[in-house]
Each structure stands twice: as structure tokens, then as C-alpha cells.
Chain A
């Protein structure tokens, strides 16, 4: 159920996001979700792509510093309180959210959120116990 997310270090300068995206485009890798966390000088480009192994290999070969992290894709009801229900499942468990962002596709009445937890395995267990639906990579990445 865990999803591999790739992160890149990028300087906060014009064109520094364009070159990795061009490289992936050339190889037919689709970026399904992307989130740029930035400071004044530099940023971290986080992506969920259709073929993370190939993408990481290609980017490393081009000299990019790449990190692969496990994240969870959580289905959230698209209504007030939808997110609160998910977070309630983790309350008191000691699992921390490092960061989260929305996956830009909606299924019916469901939104998809990407979570990076400090302990993805524990988070997975708690969420499943609470009956919250998680998406695997096949489902998430199908075109």
C-alpha cells in the first residue's frame, strides 16, 4: 500500500524545475503528483511518477541528488470533516505527519491526499484498522 515518492534538491532559480521534468517527459514518464516545498534559496521537488525506479535512475545519471521515500495515498471524503476523520484515526498513536499534499485527481466523491509519516508502517496499520481506504500504486498510477 505504500507509494514511492521521489524528491529532488533544486536551487530556487529559473529553469531548475523544468530540466528534470523535461528529462522525465522524454522518457515517457508521467508525473502524477508534484509538490514543491521551497525556501528563499532552494527547494525540494517531490513527485509521484509512473515509474519511480526508472525516473530515479535517469535523474541520478544526470547528476541530480535523488531521495526515494515511502508515502501513503489516503482516500478522504470530499465533505466538511473528511480530513478530520482521517486524522482522528491517528490521534494518540504517536505517529507524526511530516508533510502532506493533495493528489490532483478526484474519484467520485473522494479526494486523495498524499501523506509523509515519520513511521509509514504504523500509520498504515492505524488507518486500515479505522477502515480508511488507501490506494496502492497500481490504482493510483493507472493512466
Chain B
């Protein structure tokens, strides 16, 4: 019971008030904001205007929240096609910030913020961090990259807005991160779960016991992760691990975040309206059904997103959260509709590989999936970095481990894959985000 009491005290940050507003009031607010944002996009964004025209729609056709389903979707390709500024709804003189994606699959995408957008972004992050039990007096290390990527600056503004002390470590330099955590008495860290796992390993190598540090919370996002990873992180470092979700196209981190119940992520739906749709047909699905998350920014000015297809597969959790927030919750993102791999006709998700690896003595080694094509047949190789825990000086023991991994992967995936044990630190890591799949089938 103490934890509930402690957290409700922590939740008393003034920014958190909208987390608890009555549902009817929230729906009214959403409808009012939806009508405003649709009008804004219709007036200012050529692409949106022409798509509305094609459907014979005007902003006046939005009379209820259900009417949102009439509106056209926005896709990632729309941002690329209108690169760099084609979807902006504010003149540049009102834009105070630009961010851009790293552009792994072609041109980057650019997103813009007015001062009010930055303020909204800060406020949702304050609410997210407060919901994780953080407050003024906490020392928060931001180990997301600072720069064009939204993670670093987003978390920074949120932590500062909360009144906490911010350590803007940015990404990389694991040894320095660990030194800062220890020497500054850092109580919370924001980074990707993969990067934190790396810090856990590195701290062990350096002889730093994370369990003895004041660190008590980690706010992890920017990539999907699993309950098994949470279990692993919490056991190795004695912290509480929280899942935060967001995407640059909508605002950056802070679209939704777990509260201390860890039963789904509360969507800050006074600013981001969620829908779940069938990923193939685009038809809306009721709460509780799994499908693709579609988000509409209700208050964004510089770059409103109407019905943005996130490609993330989740569901809206039915029922109320015991924390008392009226905000609906989404399930943790287990997969994306586009990270599904089809290998010799079988659907495979990288998260399945992860769960197979975790079956072997509970550790999660760094891994990568390499896809190639040999004589017209797809080949899948799972490369696994040998960890100190896995390594043994006896060949027989390594071969046994190899067979165990092979067996677990075959069982979980239902197809035969090659397993390769590789040396530690040889699989590429980019900006702390794990690159899980390399597909060389096309070349």
C-alpha cells in the first residue's frame, strides 16, 4: 500500500491534473480539439485539403468523435513525399524547432514545433515522468541522443519541466554514463532498453554494482521491448523499468507512458487521439481488439497529423486503471505491422527470436537476424554474441549451448534457422537502438 500512497503524492504535479478528468469532459475536449485541428490542417496543408476534397468532406462533417473514421489516413510516405516542409501548417517564423529522423530507409522525415507545441510536449513528458513516481529532487540522466532525434531533447525538457535535476549525458560513452550515475547519485535514467542492457553489462565488467546505486527508475522507449526484458533489467539493477512510447511524427517520446501499475501505457489522449484499425483494410476496430495504432494530434500547430498510421501493433486495454487515471491505456508494443518477416512463407517476428533466446538460462544476449537468399530459398541466420555467462572453455559445452539455442529457435519459429555464435561487441549497434534485422534477400 505504501507504494500507492507514495506515488499519489508524486502525482500531485499540477501538470498531471488532466490525467484524472472525468471521461465525458475528456470526450468533449477531444471533439472540440479535433474540429479545430482538422480545420487548421484543411486550411493550411495542401495535401490534406486535396484528400478531403476527393472524399467530398469539409471540417463541418466532423460532428462527433466517431466521425474521425471518415477522414483520410496520413502515412509515413506522405512525410517523405512532401520533404522537407510540405506538411507544415505554420509559417516558418512561428516554428521554433525542427527535428528529423535518421532516414534509415531513404530521405529523412522532418517535423516542426511552434513554441506552444514544445510546451505541450514538455507537459506530456512531465505527466509521464510524474506517473513513474519521479519529482523535484530526482536526478535524471538523459542518455538518449541529443540532436535531430527527438528522444534526447524531449526527455530533457520533460525532466526539467518536472523540476528534477537533469544530467544531459546524451548517448554513447558507456563508461562515462556509469561514472555519472555513480558519482552524481542519479536516481532515474531515460534511454533505450537495449542501451540500458548494455550499461548493465558494462557496469558488471567495471565492477560497479548498479543495485547499490541510488538509481531506482528507468524510463525506456524508442524501441519495442518485452516483459522478459523488464524482468531481466529489474533483476540486474534493482530499479523499476517503465515503458514510454512516442514517435517524432506525432511529437516524440511522451505519447503514452506506463504508470506504477505497469498495466499498459496511458495515452495522453487530451492531445493524441488513438484509434485501432485493421492494418490491411484500415477499418476501425473496437477497444480490446489488436490492430494498428492510428494517432491524431489534437493540439499540434506546426505540423498537425490526422489519422497517422504508426505501423505499431497494439490494442486499447479495456477497463479502468487502478491508478485512477481516466486516460485510456494501450498495450505494450510487441511488434510493428512492418517488422514482420516472411521466411519461406512463414510469418516471423523478431520478438519471437528474443523469447526463444530468453528460454536459454534467462539471459538476453545481443543478437541479429541476417536474411539471405540461396538458390531462390530464404535463409535466416540468427547471430548471437557470446556473453561471459554463456562462454565456457570446453568445446563440448559450447556445442551443447549451440544446440540448445538451435532447438529453442526451431521450436518457437517453426522453421529451421542457422545459429551462429559470434564474438562479443561484433554486432553493430546504431545510436543505442538495436538493429535486429539485416535483409539481404533483394540484393
A residues near B (Cβ < 8 Å) are: 5, 7, 9-11, 16, 37-39, 41-42, 44, 46, 60, 63-67, 69, 98-99, 116
Checking B386, B395, B420 against A37 with a beta-carbon cut-off of 8 angstroms, the contacting residue is B395
Q: A5-B393, A9-B386, A9-B391 are in contact. Are A65 and B423 (CB under 8 A)?
A: yes
**Inter-chain contacts of A39 with B (CB < 8 A):** 395, 398-399
B392 interface residue (CB < 8 Å to A): yes
Q: B428: shortest Cβ distance to chain A, in Å?
A: 13
User: B376-400 toward A: CB 8 Å interface, digit per residue (1/0)?
Assistant: 0000000000111001111100110
Q: B99: shortest Cβ distance to chain A, in Å?
A: 33
Checking A44, A69, A116 against B398 with a beta-carbon cut-off of 8 angstroms, the contacting residue is A44
Q: In the bound complex, do residue A67 and residue B395 qualify as a contact, i.e. CB atoms below 8 Å apart?
A: no
Q: How far is the CA of A9 from the CA of B365 in the complex (A)?
A: 15
Q: A87: shortest Cβ distance to chain B, in Å?
A: 19
Q: A64: shortest Cβ distance to chain B, in Å?
A: 7
B45 interface residue (CB < 8 Å to A): no
**Inter-chain contacts of B388 with A (CB < 8 A):** 65-67
**Inter-chain contacts of A116 with B (CB < 8 A):** 393-394
Q: In the bound complex, do residue A98 and residue B394 qualify as a contact, i.e. CB atoms below 8 Å apart?
A: yes
Closest to A7 in B: B393
A-B contact list, 6 entries, CB within 8 Å = A9-B421, A39-B398, A65-B388, A65-B424, A67-B392, A99-B394
User: B422-438 toward A: CB 8 Å interface, digit per residue (1/0)?
Assistant: 11111000000000000
Q: How far is the CA of A11 from the CA of B395 in the complex (A)?
A: 13
**Inter-chain contacts of B422 with A (CB < 8 A):** 11, 42
Q: In the bound complex, do residue A67 and residue B420 qualify as a contact, i.e. CB atoms below 8 Å apart?
A: no
Q: In the bound complex, do residue A46 and residue B424 qualify as a contact, i.e. CB atoms below 8 Å apart?
A: no
Q: How far is the CA of A65 from the CA of B389 in the complex (A)?
A: 9
Q: In the bound complex, do residue A44 and residue B423 qualify as a contact, i.e. CB atoms below 8 Å apart?
A: no
Most chain A CB neighbours (cut-off 10 Å) among B388, B394, B399: B394
B205 interface residue (CB < 8 Å to A): yes
Majority-rule SS of A interface residues: strand
**Inter-chain contacts of B394 with A (CB < 8 A):** 44, 98-99, 116
Closest to B388 in A: A65
**Inter-chain contacts of B391 with A (CB < 8 A):** 7, 9, 65, 67
Q: A9-B421, A63-B424, A65-B423 are in contact. Are A46 and B393 (CB under 8 A)?
A: yes
Q: How far is the CA of A9 from the CA of B279 in the complex (A)?
A: 44
Q: How far is the CA of A5 from the CA of B394 in the complex (A)?
A: 12
Taking A63-B423, A67-B391, A116-B394 as known contacts, 5 extra A-B pairs with beta carbons closer than 8 A to each other, sorted by chain A number, are: A9-B421, A11-B426, A44-B398, A65-B387, A69-B393
Q: A9-B423, A11-B422 are in contact. Are A44 and B386 (CB under 8 A)?
A: no
Most chain B CB neighbours (cut-off 10 Å) among A42, A63, A66, A69: A42
Q: In the bound complex, do residue A67 and residue B205 qualify as a contact, i.e. CB atoms below 8 Å apart?
A: no
**Inter-chain contacts of B386 with A (CB < 8 A):** 9, 65
B residues near A (Cβ < 8 Å) are: 205, 386-388, 391-395, 398-399, 420-426
Q: B433: shortest Cβ distance to chain A, in Å?
A: 20
**Inter-chain contacts of B392 with A (CB < 8 A):** 67
Checking B387, B421, B425 against A41 with a beta-carbon cut-off of 8 angstroms, the contacting residue is B421
Q: In the bound complex, do residue B424 and residue A67 qualify as a contact, i.e. CB atoms below 8 Å apart?
A: no
**Inter-chain contacts of B423 with A (CB < 8 A):** 9-11, 16, 63-65
**Inter-chain contacts of A44 with B (CB < 8 A):** 393-395, 398
Q: B177: shortest Cβ distance to chain A, in Å?
A: 17
Q: A116: shortest Cβ distance to chain B, in Å?
A: 7
**Inter-chain contacts of A60 with B (CB < 8 A):** 205
**Inter-chain contacts of A11 with B (CB < 8 A):** 421-423, 426
Q: How far is the CA of A16 from the CA of B399 in the complex (A)?
A: 19
Q: In the bound complex, do residue A67 and residue B421 qualify as a contact, i.e. CB atoms below 8 Å apart?
A: no
**Inter-chain contacts of A5 with B (CB < 8 A):** 393
Checking B387, B393, B421, B425 against A42 with a beta-carbon cut-off of 8 angstroms, the contacting residue is B421
Closest to B389 in A: A65
Q: B116: shortest Cβ distance to chain A, in Å?
A: 47
Q: How far is the CA of A7 from the CA of B255 in the complex (A)?
A: 48
Q: How far is the CA of A42 from the CA of B385 in the complex (A)?
A: 12
Most chain A CB neighbours (cut-off 10 Å) among B388, B391, B423: B423
Q: How far is the CA of A67 from the CA of B390 in the complex (A)?
A: 10
Closest to A19 in B: B423
**Inter-chain contacts of B398 with A (CB < 8 A):** 9, 39, 42, 44
Q: B403: shortest Cβ distance to chain A, in Å?
A: 12
**Inter-chain contacts of A67 with B (CB < 8 A):** 388, 391-393
**Inter-chain contacts of A9 with B (CB < 8 A):** 386, 391, 398, 421, 423-424
Most chain A CB neighbours (cut-off 10 Å) among B386, B393, B394: B393
Sort A-B residue pairs by CB-CB distance and give the 8 closest, nearest first.
A7-B393, A63-B425, A65-B391, A9-B386, A37-B395, A65-B424, A69-B393, A67-B393
